[in-house]
Amino acid sequence: MIKGVKTHSLAGKRVAISGATGGLGRPLCRYLASLGASLVLLDRNGERSRAPGAELTAEFPALSVAYLRVDMEDIASVAAAATELKKAPLHLLILNAGAYNIPRHKCSTGYDNVFQINFVSPYCLARSLAAHISACGGRVVAVGSIAHDYCRADFSDVDFSTRKKSSHAYGNSKRYLMFSLYALYGGASGLAVAHPGISFTGITAHYPKVIFAIIKHPMKVIFMRPSKACLSILRGCFEDCGVNEWIGPRFFNVWGKPKKRTLTTCPPDEAAKIAEVAERVWGENAVRFRS
């Protein structure tokens, strides 16, 4: 058992994780490696993912690590990765990669890139691999965010491409990811939604440089370290979530050991419309994922 999370051996289990090089990804991969999992690191920069892979194999010599290039802005790249992942059993797919305050543009799908990275690509990847993972007795673990409650879905501006506020664009995309997956699984086993609360990682370094230089040290003191924050995601690797359930820090969704709770942040009619949009998005891209 890792402190705060009931675990068991993952020997013989293949785990694919996006965002493995980021602030939460690295300690999460270390926990998984310590439990005996075989890792597939998904990253748009294959060379960048080899550095944490080398660190892990130095610490865990028996660890099996594979590298798979995936650019979440490029749906063709995501589809190609899904095809590769289907070639062997897959027991965990951890959707950890995310983008917050980045230059905005439209992707080839026609969607805003923040929406594409945080929702369209991970949803299509999970949708494509759901049956394969289920056949292996596995689970999809989606990383949500408290930012999902910063706004409500606007079905006249689905991807918030007209919105300038980063927190709203990011929160909207996470709202879509979380509630579309709840609808996809419908309470059946095979899904966990987790959120780390607030931790000092690259995704929180979105403030102007002068402000960030002032606040970064207090942030490190006030909020949980990535190695603690990622425990909610780790717990999701071992525990399903039902509809509208998520796993996160027990105190104000910010601090403490992981706790499961039920969300009341999205009305049923809005959730149903989000599910409709998600299936439309899948329909627009499904042909790319047929292999």
- pLDDT score for 214: 47
Q: In this structure, what are the phi and psi dihedrals at residue 24, rounded to the nearest 5 degrees? A: -85, -30
Q: Answer whether 0.95 is exceeded by the pTM.
A: no
Q: Strands across the sheet with 245-251, in order?
A: 65-69, 38-43, 14-18, 92-95, 139-143, 191-194, 245-251, 255-262
Res 51: pLDDT: 85
* Closest CA relative to residue 29, chosen from 78, 72, 67: 67
> Quick one: average pLDDT of 102-131?
98
Instruction: Give 208's pLDDT tier (boundaries 50, 70, 90).
Output: low
pLDDT band for 17, please (50, 70, 90 cuts): very high
Cβ atoms of 101 and 173 closer than 8 Å: no
SS3 content of the chain, % helix, strand, coil (to 5): 45, 15, 40
- How high does pLDDT run on average in the chain? 92
The predicted model gives 144-157 an average pLDDT of 96
Task: Look at the alpha carbons of 230, 233, 237, 240 in this order and tell me if their dihedral is positive or negative.
Answer: positive
Do β-strands 255-262 and 92-95 pair in parallel, antiparallel, or remain unpaired? unpaired
pLDDT in tens, 52-108: 899 999 999 999 999 999 999 999 999 999 999 999 999 999 999 999 989 999 999
Instruction: Please state, in angstroms and rounded to a whole number, the distance separating the CA atoms of residues 108 and 87.
Output: 27
Round to whole Å and give the CA distance between 150 and 101: 15
Q: Are 33 and 56 in contact (CB under 8 A)?
A: yes
pLDDT, tens digit (0-9, with 9 covering 90-100), for 224-280: 889 999 999 999 999 999 999 999 999 888 889 999 999 999 999 999 999 999 999
